[in-house]
Amino acid sequence: MSGGQKETMDKFKQSSDVERDPTIAKLLVHLKTMREAVPVNYQLKKDLKQKLLAQMQQMGNVNKAQVPVIQNRSKRTRRWVTSIALVTAVIMVSVLWKTMQGPAVEDLKPFPVQGEFVDADLSPDGKQIILLTKESLLVYDTKGQKINSIPLPEQSEVDSVAYSPLGQEAAFILRDQQRSEIWAANLYGGAKRLIYDAENVPIQSLNWSSDGKWLYVQKGEEIWKLSTNSTQAMHIGQGLRPSVSPGGNHIAIEQNGEIVVLSEKEKQVKKIGKGEKAQWINEKWLVFFDSAKQDLVAVNPLEASTKQVPLGLSGKLHGLPGELHSSVDGSQIIMIGHENKNEISVYTGTSRWR
């Protein structure tokens, strides 16, 4: 009997009469299909392995450090001492690991480019920063080297710039006295296209969906979802400054001074707390400005407790912390500080969002 046949026979012997019943057999095939349909988080697998290897390395170092002291003891005592040392090291690493849990923003420093900027955004890969001035769109790398400059048509105001998640374009808003226009500019060729326009109602606050097919905007005091490829436009509801989650399932908006999260699919609404300028960082973490704390706070809206974690940015910037934009992987961020009503300052930094 071959190895494969032996394994099949072993499984048959292990199986019960129920499982050999043909009516149940279909159910078993279905259960196997369902098992395979449950996806594995390979990113977690990779990340966790690195952490475990680091921990094992530390445990190994602790073992080596102990060897000269215990050389003269009996084997039994040596094992006990080694075990205690290992456990102590693991506990210390676990405590350190637990203190590192939770979101954090680090290494904040001013972006070296100076000017009168209206808005800024970070590219999805975290390698470029786009700055919106009244005259142009300026693209820089994160060290401050200019990559491109795209002049804008004359108008009274500019408002909001947002990188497309696909990385090639950026959307921005031009306004004059009666008309608001949303444009998208190709950051490498400079070609521009008009996405949407509206008369007699101001448009502000741009937020792309993660597939680049939609823009969520504030039109007056209403939230709208606009197609970037057609004339389709959908009214979402009342609110300000929309931010859509990367998965597209949840929209964070401001209503009456509170941050509220809407679920488009389930048609559910959840109040998060008093605040403004909410931004999704990833599918789990939402960041917004808490005026009581004068700081940005992070919250996981899908947890029952919606515990707010302050990011500790108050006092680290010139002015109050404003919007926070992150790269797709969450490791790079830019922070916009509001020094006064008309001026922003830009900071770069790193972050983690566990």
Partner 1 sequence: MGMAIKKEHTAEDPEMIQNESYEDRDFSELYDEYFDRINRYLRSRVHNMWDADDLTTVVFMKALEKFHQYDRRNLFASWIFRIAHNTFIDYLRKVKEYPMEPGEWMNGSHEDHDDTWQPEKNLLNDEQVYFLHEKMEQLTQDQRDVLSLRYFGDLKISQVAEVLGKTESSVKMISHRGLRQLQKLYEMEGQG
Residues that bind partner 1 (CB under 8 A): 14, 16-19, 23-24, 26-28, 30-35, 37-45, 48-49, 52-53, 55-57, 59-60, 75, 83, 86-87, 90, 94, 97, 246-249, 263, 266, 268, 270, 282-284, 300, 302, 304-305
Shortest spacing between CB 283 and partner 1, in angstroms: 6
Determine the Cα–Cα distance for residues 65 and 53; give it in Å rounded to an integer: 18
Select 187 or 259, whichever has its Cβ closest to partner 1.
259
Q: How far is the CB of 22 from partner 1 (least distance, A)?
A: 12
Paired tokens of 137:
């769109």
Residue 96 three-state SS = helix
- Shortest Å distance, C-beta 244 to partner 1: 13
| Residue whose CB is less far from partner 1, 98 or 109 | 98
**Element containing residue 260 per DSSP (H, E):** strand 258-263
How far is residue 242's CA from residue 222's CA, in Å, rounded to a whole number?
Answer: 10
**Cβ distance to partner 1 smaller for residue 23 or 340:** 23
Cβ-contact 345, 337 below 8 angstroms: yes
CB of 226 to partner 1, least distance (A): 21
Q: How far is the CB of 327 from partner 1 (least distance, A)?
A: 14
DSSP 43-74: HHHHHHHHHHHHHHHHHHHHHHHHHHHHTTS-
Q: How far is the CB of 43 from partner 1 (least distance, A)?
A: 7
Amino acid at residue number 194: L
Rg (CA), the chain: 27
Hey, what amino acid is at 186? N
Least Cα distance to 258 among 244, 269, 247, 246 occurs for: 269
Nearer to partner 1, 9 or 31 (CB): 31
Helix (H) or strand (E) holding 170: strand 169-175
Phi, psi of 56 (to 5 degrees): -65, -35
Query: At 329, which amino acid appears?
Result: D
Looking at beta carbons only, is 36 or 154 nearer to partner 1? 36
Instruction: Give whichever of 91 and 234 is closer to partner 1, judged by the CB atom.
Output: 91
Shortest distance (Å) from residue 136 CB to partner 1: 34
**With respect to partner 1, which residue has the nearer C-beta, 56 or 166?**
56
